[in-house]
Amino acid sequence: MLYLIGMGLHDERDLSLKAVEALRGCERVYLESYTSCFNGDINRLQEMLGKEVVLLDRKDLEENPEENVLAGGEVGLIVMGDPMVATTHSDLVLRAREKGAEVKVIHSSSVYSAIAETGLQIYKFGRTTTIAYPEGDYFPKSPYEALKENHMRGLHTLLLLDVKADEGRYMTVNEGIKYLLMMEESCLQNQFKKDSKCVGVARLGGDTAIRYGTAEEVIKEEFGGPPHILIVPGKMHYMEEEMLKAYEV
Amino acid sequence: MLYLIGMGLHDERDLSLKAVEALRGCERVYLESYTSCFNGDINRLQEMLGKEVVLLDRKDLEENPEENVLAGGEVGLIVMGDPMVATTHSDLVLRAREKGAEVKVIHSSSVYSAIAETGLQIYKFGRTTTIAYPEGDYFPKSPYEALKENHMRGLHTLLLLDVKADEGRYMTVNEGIKYLLMMEESCLQNQFKKDSKCVGVARLGGDTAIRYGTAEEVIKEEFGGPPHILIVPGKMHYMEEEMLKAYEV
């Protein structure tokens, strides 16, 4: 049996009782932390579970899963947030099924629902997108397209920010705003300008920081450590505006 | 302090360690179960927390929160899924702030990310919508509109199904499909027909049942107890199709 277990948003105390129970029964436990950012303490996690927790990087999991999580037996793979959200883990499920192994998912908290803490209503979010770090000539404008499509329908946009955990790089709200403004300069379709409203969010589910204002205002704020996300609201209900007032810069 | 605490998807074992810790420190604990469906056991929950858990219905919480959750002190309100997803709870936060009370949200698993267990990729979902029970002349076609908008962009649609917990009514996948087919008959825009593919899901995070097929096929399936949800996929990646094969009827 392969258990895919959500760690939740922030640290080891975001594990559910169900997750802890399953992990205690596992022969081997792994932690995948390259698709997001673990703000907990691996020693505390090991003590809590009473067993070793082996850290896996992208290569271990994508190229050699047969040597670790797919090597058989009762295995637990802990993943930040809710486990099936990263496409990497779909691939793992398919590989496990091919080998005839059973897979069980134990869910946990995720940014996809936790963004409702800002007061923005979740059924008014359109498609989610990710801002990637530009590399050389590579600077995908797809987030700008998603923003435009969502705006046309009055919907909010959740913009996830690039994580390169192996290089210790986690995109900040400030960088995210900078890249969106650069996309505006290149696409010129009035989707995100200095006076556009946005919500910067850091460490949801931990020592959460939420700041609401214009791009020009929010880009000057200090958000502290990762993970960060950025939201560009669409048309707002008065109750959403009321909720956001508490976070105005 | 008012703690808004996510119960998670299924039962009391979906509470996080952080949630249990906070609840044990509360003077009074309430459980709101009218916006979703609690599949756990309230006695086991009370034993686990070592205190009484008072059930609240819609009226208690929307009309008289000053008599319970807003009456002051260290209070925990447990909510199914992730707590801020229901708009009711935004209202509660605003009322608490008006009274000068601090509010802390403790997140948990939610259908908004857990749908990734089907293999459908979460960043390809458009706006979520809810199918409401028709009542007399009231039969809102907004889910059909959302479906159409999402289809035009190739996106998947999550359709939440009406919950009337006070009447013990929880819309089933089968009813959801029936209502969508009725909307098609009335709107005639080729968005959902008998041969349209859909994914029926019951009790995500519990004894999950997932069935994939045409509307005509899935409507004949027996899904068991609530909660149910329905997904209408948009354009699929081959890996999404591969994942869904395991659930074909």
> Would you state the torsion angle of the CA atoms of residues B191, B192, B195, B201, taken in this order, to the nearest 10 degrees?
130
Distance CA(B32)–CA(B88), nearest Å, equals 11
Q: How distant is the Cα of A186 from the closest Cα of chain B, in angstroms? A: 23
**B213 or A167, greater pLDDT:** B213
Which DSSP helix (H) or strand (E) runs through B218?
A: helix B215-218
Please report residues of B whose CB lies closer than 8 A to that of A112. 110, 112-113, 122
Residues A133 and A72 occupy one common structural domain: no
Q: Which amino acid is at B15?
A: L
Q: Is the dihedral of CA B235, B241, B246, B248 positive or negative?
A: positive
The structure tokens 């049996």 sit at: A1
Average pLDDT, chain A: 95
Residues B169 and B56 occupy one common structural domain: no
Residues A105 and A126 occupy one common structural domain: no
Distance CA(B243)–CA(A91), nearest Å, equals 9
Cα angle B111, B117, B118 (rounded to 5 degrees) comes to 105
Please report residues of A whose CB lies closer than 8 A to that of B116. 82, 84-85
Residues B33 and B118 occupy one common structural domain: no
- pLDDT-derived band at B34 (thresholds 50, 70, 90) equals confident
Q: Which 3 state secondary structure label does DSSP give B3?
A: strand
Distance CA(A162)–CA(B70), nearest Å, equals 40
Asked whether the beta carbons of residue B107 and residue A9 sit closer than 8 angstroms, the reply is yes
Q: For residue B227, give every residue at least 6 positions away whose Cβ sits within 8 Å of its Cβ, in sequence order, or none.
A: B36, B37, B111, B161, B163, B170, B202, B203, B204
Residues 132-151 of A with CB under 8 A from B: 149
Residues A200 and A101 occupy one common structural domain: no
Does the pLDDT of residue A131 top 90, yes or no?
yes
Number of domains in chain A: 2
Please report residues of B whose CB lies closer than 8 A to that of A109. 6, 16, 82, 107-110
* Exposure on the CB side of residue A143, measured as CA atoms within 13 A: 28
pLDDT of A20:
98
Residues A161 and A97 occupy one common structural domain: no
**DSSP secondary-structure letter at B125?**
B
pLDDT tens for residues B123-176? Answer: 999 999 999 999 988 899 999 999 999 999 999 999 999 998 888 899 999 999
Q: For A75-138, give the DSSP string.
A: EEEEEEBSGGGSHHHHHHHHHHHHTT--EEEE----HHHHGGGGS--GGGB---EEEPPPBTTB
Regarding beta strands A129-131 and B129-131, do their DSSP bridges make them parallel or antiparallel, or are they unpaired? unpaired
Cβ proximity of A38 and A226 under 8 Å: no
Q: For residue B211, give every residue at least 6 positions away whose Cβ sits within 8 Å of its Cβ, in sequence order, or none.
A: B173, B199, B200, B201, B218, B221, B223, B247, B249
What separation in angstroms does the CA of B225 have from each of A12, A52, B168, B172? 32, 38, 12, 8
**DSSP secondary-structure letter at B157?**
E
Cβ proximity of A228 and A173 under 8 Å: yes
Helices and strands of chain B, counted as H and E runs: 9, 12
Residues B73 and B145 occupy one common structural domain: no
- Give the range of the structural domain holding residue A81, as residue numbers without chain letter: 2-109
Q: Which amino acid is at A141?
A: K
Find the mean pLDDT for residues B42-47. Answer: 96
pLDDT of B201:
98
pLDDT of B167:
87
Asked whether the beta carbons of residue B122 and residue A112 sit closer than 8 angstroms, the reply is yes
Regarding beta strands B228-232 and B157-161, do their DSSP bridges make them parallel or antiparallel, or are they unpaired? antiparallel
pLDDT of A87:
83
Cα angle A128, A133, A138 (rounded to 5 degrees) comes to 100
Residues B151 and B73 occupy one common structural domain: no
Residues B237 and B125 occupy one common structural domain: yes
Interface test with B, best of A39, A47, A84 (most B CBs within 10 A): A84
pLDDT of A238:
95
Distance CA(B128)–CA(B65), nearest Å, equals 29
- pLDDT-derived band at A210 (thresholds 50, 70, 90) equals very high
pLDDT tens for residues B163-207? Answer: 988 888 999 999 999 999 999 999 999 999 999 999 999 999 999
Asked whether the beta carbons of residue A110 and residue B112 sit closer than 8 angstroms, the reply is yes
pLDDT of B84:
93
Residues 104-123 of B with CB under 8 A from A: 105-114, 116-117, 119, 121-123
Q: How distant is the Cα of B111 from the closest Cα of chain A, in angstroms? A: 8
Tokens for B44, please give them.
């086991």
pLDDT of A38:
87
Tokens for A187, please give them.
């696409």
Asked whether the beta carbons of residue A109 and residue B109 sit closer than 8 angstroms, the reply is yes
Q: In chain B, whose CA is at the least distance from the CA of A246?
A: B97
Residues B173 and B71 occupy one common structural domain: no
Asked whether the beta carbons of residue A17 and residue B15 sit closer than 8 angstroms, the reply is yes
B205 to chain A, any CB pair closer than 8 A? The answer is yes
Does the pLDDT of residue A209 top 90, yes or no?
yes
Find the mean pLDDT for residues B46-53. Answer: 97
Average pLDDT, chain B: 95
Asked whether the beta carbons of residue B117 and residue A94 sit closer than 8 angstroms, the reply is no
Distance CA(B128)–CA(B149), nearest Å, equals 11
Residue finishing a domain among B83, B109, B135: B109
Q: How distant is the Cα of B231 from the closest Cα of chain A, in angstroms? A: 15
Cβ proximity of A178 and A219 under 8 Å: yes
Q: For residue B193, give every residue at least 6 positions away whose Cβ sits within 8 Å of its Cβ, in sequence order, or none.
A: B181, B184, B215
Q: In chain B, whose CA is at the least distance from the CA of A243?
A: B94
pLDDT of A167:
87
Q: Residue B189 is part of a domain; what is its CATH number?
A: 3.30.950.10
Hey, which residues does B158 pair with through a beta bridge? B231
pLDDT tens for residues A41-65? Answer: 999 999 999 999 999 988 899 899 9
Count of CB pairs separated by less than 8 Å, A with B: 158
pLDDT tens for residues A67-98? Answer: 999 999 999 999 999 999 988 899 999 999 99
Task: With CA atoms as reference, report the closest residue to A128 among A107, A149, A109.
Answer: A149
Residues A83 and A126 occupy one common structural domain: no
Q: Residue A50 is part of a domain; what is its CATH number?
A: 3.40.1010.10
Q: How distant is the Cα of B2 from the closest Cα of chain A, in angstroms? A: 14
Residue finishing a domain among B88, B109, B130: B109
Asked whether the beta carbons of residue B91 and residue A239 sit closer than 8 angstroms, the reply is yes
Residue finishing a domain among A94, A109, A124: A109
**DSSP secondary-structure letter at A31?**
E
Residues A83 and A141 occupy one common structural domain: no
Please report residues of A whose CB lies closer than 8 A to that of B87. 121, 239
